[in-house]
Every structure is written in structure tokens, then in C-alpha cells.
Structure 1
Amino acid sequence: MAFLHNHFPALLGLCGFLICLSPPLSHSLSIHDLLKTKGLPAGLLPKDVQSYTLSETGLLEVFLDGPCLTKFDTMAFYDSVVRANLTYGGLTGVEGMSQEELFLWLPVKGIIVNDPKSGLILFDIGVAHKQLSLSLFEDPPDCKPQGSLKKNGRKEIGFEAQR
């Protein structure tokens, strides 16, 4: 007992040092596996995620190669950095993701899976809430680099062939 009492501060310091050297938990899982452990589908984020960080407060920052476009039910745009607060079943305060609705690009503010058994996912796009099938998000999508194309004298965001 005296040994522990005398050496406790040194042992505590050693443990703290080893914890500082260990890699963050966020890098022990792929971003897609992390989403699954939080009750969200893996396909909410594209395949080409370079890295991510997850703070102790739940702030998730996802780093992509660059801005890109993909398609679920409509077109979706990802900025090179996507941020959100990650909780079980939800991403709130989303920044860096937009969805095309009726020829308008609207920012995605939140994504929630209230009941996985329902098969539905809820997207908060600011002016409305949109329910989609979870099956659309099972697999991480390919995301094409954003390109500005000229067509008929107006500037458009890529994927004109898929419209």
C-alpha cells in the first residue's frame, strides 16, 4: 500500500502521457463504420473521404478531396469540409452539404433517423423536412468533382448528362 501511495503521482503522469500518445478514437473506425455505430446509414457521406475528426463534444468534421456532386433521389452537393454535431441517430447543425429541390440548391441543416425500423430518414432542408427511404443511403456513393459548365449561356453545376 505504501508503494502505491508513494508512486501514485508518477503512475498517474505516465498514464496521462500514454493517453496523449494514443491515436484518437475517431480514426479507429472508417467514417462509414462510425455512422453505422451511431444508428445512421453509411451512405450519407461519399466514398472518397480523406479523413475526419470527432471531438469529445460530438463535433464531426469530414474532409473530402474537394467539392463534389452525387445523386440520391435528387442531386446532392458536398463541400470539401462537411461539419455536423453527431449524436445517436442524427447529424444536426450540418454545414457543407446541399440538396437540389425544384432547381434550387438548399442547405441540409440536419439528418435524423428516428426509428430505423420505419425505413425512413428525415432531411431538414431549412424550408421543409423531407422523408426518404433509408435504402437510398445503404452504400457510400461515388461523388464526382464539382465542375462549372456553360450550357445555353447560363452557369450550371455539373452532371448535366444525368438531368
Structure 2
Amino acid sequence: MSLTRQSFRFLFLLLSLLFVLSESTLSSSSSSNSIQNLLQSQGLPGGLFPHDVKSFTLHPDGLLEVLLDRPCLAKFDTGVYFDSVVRANLTYGKLMGMEGLSQKELFLWLPVKDIIVDDPSSGVIVFDIGVAHKQLSLSLFEDPPVCRPTDLEVLQPNIGRKKIGFEALR
């Protein structure tokens, strides 16, 4: 049985449509509701990212990129800082190798490296901030936090003294 030219075009269009539809499930430019659904389907609480999610992309290799309108501050149990782009490798129950998320501990802003839910029935989520593993209640992450924009240059790493006003102190 040979495919006619018209049958071939139809098959090509059908496969193209299926590819586009499958890609649209991985990338979204809608509200944070879609990122909530993705996180929950991966064993994580839906409220890990703020309402201000502009879009996100889940790449085939598991890299999750979440885009916000601007950097912002929110609060779970302590202050958290979201950069305008947050990246992590998403596997079931884990966001590993995070970039763009910091948590305030005492007077320091420490980068969050991993977020892990080993056992959802325990009611605990673990934030790895490098120097320690912080266990928090999963209930803190049921709803997306409200993120307030602010001038966050002083929180971002690798900013010179001159940029944050220390040039006058010399």
C-alpha cells in the first residue's frame, strides 16, 4: 500500500499538530495555575512559585524554567527572593540544582539549592540552603505566595560596592 501525496500531507499535518499539542503542555504563558498543576503532578506542592509567574517551560531533559515579570520578595516562613528567571531540574518530588531562588536566614540571603519532598505523607518539605537542610511544613506551600516587587539590587550576588552606594564611604 503506497501513500498518495495527499495522504502524506495529511499524515504530516497530523503529526505536526500532535507535536505542537504535546509541546504546549510543556510550555505555558498562562497564570501560575498551570505551574501549580505541573508541580502537583510531580509530587510537589503547587504553591512553590508566586502568582506572578509569566510563563514556564519544562524542557525534555527535565530542566524547568520559570519566568516572572520581575524579581520579587515573598514569604513562606522567612523571606524568599525570586529572581526574574528561576531554573531547576524537575524530577518526581524534587527541584534540584536551583538557580534564582534565595531564602533569608537571620541576616543572610542564602541560595536555595534543592527543594525535596521525600514522603508527602510526612507533611514535610526540605529546603537545602547549602549550609543546612531546613524542614518546613508542606501546608506553607498550598497556595502561591504574593510576591512584592522592590528594588532588589542589594540582594543580588556579585554586585560591586559602587553600585549599592558604598563609593561614598571610601
**TM-score, normalised on structure 1?**
0.82
- Which runs of 5 or more residues in structure 1 are unaligned? 156-163
Q: Could you tell me how far apart the structure 1 residues matched to 2:152 and 2:42 are?
A: 35
CA shift for structure 1 position 146: 2.4
Q: Could you tell me how far apart the structure 1 residues matched to 2:19 and 2:108 are?
A: 46
CA shift for structure 1 position 20: 4.1
For residues 82-128 of structure 1, the C-alpha deviation after alignment (integer angstroms, 9 at most, x for no partner) is 00111110100100000001100000000000000000000010111
Q: Could you tell me how far apart the structure 1 residues matched to 2:130 and 2:119 are?
A: 21
2:15 is matched with 16
2:105 is matched with 101
Aligned CA distance change for structure 1 residues 134 and 56 (closer, same or farther; 3 Å)? same
What is the DSSP-based 3-state SS (H/G/I as helix, E as strand, rest coil) of the residue aligned with 1:18? helix
Q: 2:135 aligns with which of 131, 134, 149?
A: 131
Q: Which protein has the bigger strand share?
A: 1
Q: Could you tell me how far apart the structure 1 residues matched to 2:88 and 2:153 are?
A: 30
Aligned residues: 147
Aligned CA distance change for structure 1 residues 127 and 24 (closer, same or farther; 3 Å)? same
**Aligned pairs for 1:1-163 within 5 A:** 2=1, 6-7=2-3, 10=8, 13-22=12-21, 23-26=23-26, 27=28, 30-147=34-151
Tell me the amino acid that sits aligned with residue 36 of structure 2.
Answer: H
- Which runs of 5 or more residues in structure 2 are unaligned? 155-163, 165-170
Aligned CA distance change for structure 1 residues 80 and 20 (closer, same or farther; 3 Å)? same
What is the DSSP-based 3-state SS (H/G/I as helix, E as strand, rest coil) of the residue aligned with 2:145? coil
**TM-score, normalised on structure 2?**
0.78
CA shift for structure 1 position 12: 5.2
- Contact 2:54–2:67, Cα closer than 8 Å, also in 1: yes
Q: Could you tell me how far apart the structure 2 residues matched to 1:148 and 1:109 are?
A: 20
The ranges of structure 1 where at least 4 consecutive aligned residues each deviate by more than 6 angstroms after the TM superposition are: none
